[in-house]
Amino acid sequence: MTPDLTTGIKWYLVFVFSTTFHEAAHAWTAYKLGDDTAHRGGQVTLDPTPHIRRSPFGMVVVPILSYLYNGWMIGWASAPYNPRWAIAYPKRSALMSLAGPGANLALVIGAAILIRLGIAMHFFEAPARITFSHVVDANTGGAYFLASLLSICFSLNLLLCAFNLMPLPPLDGSGALLLFTNPQTAEKLLSHLRQPQFQLFGLFISWKVFDYFYPTIQLFAVGLLYPGGGYLQGTYSALMNL
């Protein structure tokens, strides 16, 4: 795939919205459960500005470079929280961690509903071949831009949801481990999870492992989107080119 400006703009629009929605979900959940750290920092918002201001490298530089290099985008942002609150209320902290992937899953479901609705209204149709950024075809020229956005939204948020659920630091899945702790063990666990060396190692291992099973997750999701569509053949290899 040769990156082009129009496709890159679509990718960036979806990436910024998806990442902002993810972090806003973390911040809003923490606020509702007793930690107002992110709320005071302005993170409980769908306005991407405070999220970009907090993580300019992960929200601007890395997404653009990853698109230019690979033809697709990845990056990161973060919402602050109070570690003392997380230790005192580990289960609340775990729910805060899960809120981000949950937000991405909601966007996957929302994109799927709009795709199916578009097919029912004959704006869209199932494509002959599925790729990461091509999940639905447009029947009319006017629907092409929306079909492309929904395809990217479906796949990117599925990836963000699944990847962030990996139970290794610094990913959200590691924070979800606090569901099974008490305040005493939560303090020890958090001290380990926040160590930079563990976070770097966890991120490296997670990405290496994730590369092997994500195509299966995408194929499963596509099978739910198009029951009986028969996209298994030829799709796996296309997704492995991410």
Q: For residue 233, what pLDDT band results from cuts at 50, 70 and 90?
A: very low
Question: DSSP for 106-155?
Answer: HHHHHHHHHHHHHHHTTSEE--SS-BTTBS-EESSGGGHHHHHHHHHHHH
User: Following CA atoms 15, 16, 18, 23 in sequence, which dihedral angle do they give, to the nearest 10 degrees?
Assistant: 130
Contact (CB, 8 A) for 152 and 133: yes
pTM for this predicted structure: 0.92
> What confidence tens digit (pLDDT) does each residue in 164-215 have?
999 999 999 999 999 998 888 988 888 888 888 888 888 889 988 998 888 8
pLDDT tens per residue across span 38-93: 999 999 999 999 999 999 999 999 999 999 988 888 899 999 999 999 999 999 99
Nearest CA among 97, 77, 121 for reference residue 176: 97
User: Across the chain, what does the average pLDDT equal?
Assistant: 90
Provide the token pair at 17.
């919205």
Catalytic residue among 23, 54, 175, 218: 23
> Catalytic site residue 23?
yes
Query: DSSP for 144-155?
Result: HHHHHHHHHHHH
Q: How much of the chain exceeds pLDDT 70, in percent?
A: 94
Helix 196-225 vs helix 90-120: angle between axes, to the nearest 10 degrees? 30
The larger pLDDT score, comparing residue 42 to residue 2, is at 42
Whole-angstrom Cα distance, residue 83 to residue 77? 18
Distance separating alpha carbons of residues 121 and 105, to the nearest angstrom:
24
Helix and strand counts by DSSP (H, E) for the chain: 12, 2
Which DSSP string do the residues of 147-203 spell out, in sequence order? Answer: HHHHHHHHHHHHHHHHHHTSSSTTSHHHHGGGGG--HHHHHHHHHHHT-HHHHHHHH
Instruction: Provide the token pair at 198.
Output: 């563990």
Q: What is the C-alpha to C-alpha distance for residues 72 and 29, in angstroms, rounded to an integer? A: 29
CA 139 from chain centre, in angstroms, equals 28
